[in-house]
Structure formats: C-alpha cells, structure tokens
Amino acid sequence: MRSGNPSLKTEAFENFNKADTGRKMTIRGTVNKTFILLLLVLVTFIYSWNQFVTSPNSVLPLILVGAIGGLIAGLITIFVPKISPFTAPIYALLEGLFLGAISAQYEVQYGGIVFQAVLITIGVLFSLLLVYKSGLIKVTQNFRLGVAAATGAIFLVYVISFIGGFFGFEIPFLHESSPIGIGISVVIVIIAALNLVLDFDFIESAAQKQVPKYFEWYGAFGLLVTLVWLYLEILRLLSKIRSK
C-alpha cells in the first residue's frame, strides 16, 4: 500500500489504461479539487450546524444520513475510482452533514472547541506539507508499512469498541479523560497526521505516473478522508483535555 489511508492504494492507479492519451492528472489539479471538496463540506457543515442550533432534536437524521451515506459513497469511490468526479463531491456533502451536527454538539459542551480543532487541523496539514516537501520526512517502504499497520490497528480497536457497545463492553481508557486516555488520543492524532504524509506521496507518485485526469478527484477524495479523520480525532482530544 502506498498509503495507510485505505482509499489511496498503489493498485488504484497501477492498472489504468496506459493507452489512454487524454488529459493527465496534475498536482495543481488535485489541489484545486481538494479545495472544491472542502467548500462542499463547508456548505453542508453550516447547514447541519444551523439545524442543530434551531432544533437540536432534528439533527439525528442528518447524522445518520451523513455517516451512512458518506460511508457508502466512500466505498463506491474506493472500488470504482473512475466515477470519483461524481462520488467524491457526494461524499464531501454527506460528510459535511455529519461533521456539522457532531461539531455543534461538541461546541455546546465546550465553547470554542470547534474553532480550535479547525485551526489545529489546518496547521497540521500545512506543517506536514512543508515537512514533506522539504524532505525532512523520508517516505520509505518501512514508513509506509508502519503507518498502515498502526492505522489498521486503530480501525480494528474502533470496530471492537463499536460492537462491544451493544453488549456493554468498553475498551479501557479509549473514551476516558484520564491521562492515559488523553495519551491514547494523542497517539491516534499523530497516526492520523502521518497518514497525510503518505497521502501527499501517493498524489505526487500518481501525478508522476501520468494517470488519467479523473485521479485528481480520487486523490482529493483520499486526502479529504484523512482530514475528516484527523479533525474528529483532534476534536475528541480537545474535549478530553477540556473535560479534564
């Protein structure tokens, strides 16, 4: 795997039609598509946030539609990258619904936490981009495997925690505001942030291979997946610290 992010895999662009003489993917094009997706997230984020402000009890359907619909749109994009110009914007809109409602709930409990989480997420994004471009972090095969393994382990823990919730089982410290719980969240945030480095590497490698133009949307989608995860983990970490 080129990236720990399951949506960005080397296999996604290794088997494209090399006879294709159409327009090719560029890094600038991917950056532009990423900004478009972020704007779409912002539109539905604001709508969902306002719905919570006016009627807190009405946002549960938005959370469910955003979470389940976003998962479906994301899986379709992963398995059929060629239609990512259509599915990636749909994913962004659905994630905005989910994030807006969830963020509003956190904001009610901890005033100002959402603004802090957004600033930190943006700061981490640009900081790691500068570090990656400067060559301070070398994306070696061992680095990729390590981040991918850590990401998979976190995903497995979350799945066990989710299923265990139906049977009254909780993973110790995972959701607690204790020093250990905060430490666990810090580690998860670091792993999520390192996935950004692998995403940058994937996008750069795909552009160098001159894959078809639609991979700009696919690369932007993969980057958005990581940013959503990173933002949510930062939000959780800040809430633990504020609760403490």
Q: What are the residue boundaries of the structural domains of the chain, listed by start? A: 24-243
Measured distance CA(4)–CA(225) in Å, rounded:
11
In tens, the pLDDT along 180-236 reads 999 999 999 999 999 999 999 999 999 999 899 999 999 999 999 999 999 999 999
Report residue 82 CA to chain centroid gap.
Answer: 20
Q: Please state, in angstroms and rounded to a whole number, the distance separating the CA atoms of residues 128 and 126.
A: 5
**Mean pLDDT within 120-137:** 92
pTM for the full model? 0.89
Alpha-carbon gap, residue 25 to 9, rounded angstroms: 16
Residue owning tokens 């994030």: 99
Distances (CA, A) of 124 to 143, 152, 165, 175, 214: 19, 21, 31, 23, 27
3-state secondary structure of 67: helix
Comparing 171-175, 177-181, 198-202, which segment has the lowest mean pLDDT? 171-175
pLDDT at 73: 96
Phi, psi of 24 (to 5 degrees): -110, 160
| Euclidean distance between CA atoms 133 and 201, whole angstroms | 10
Whole-number average pLDDT of the chain: 89
pLDDT value at 83 more than 80: yes
- Per-residue b or e along 188-198, where b marks 16 or more CB atoms closer than 10 Å to that residue's CB: bbebbbbbbbb
**Single-letter amino acid, residue 216:** E
pLDDT at position 2 is 46
Tell me if residue 97 falls in helix, strand or coil.
helix
The residue type found at 88 is A
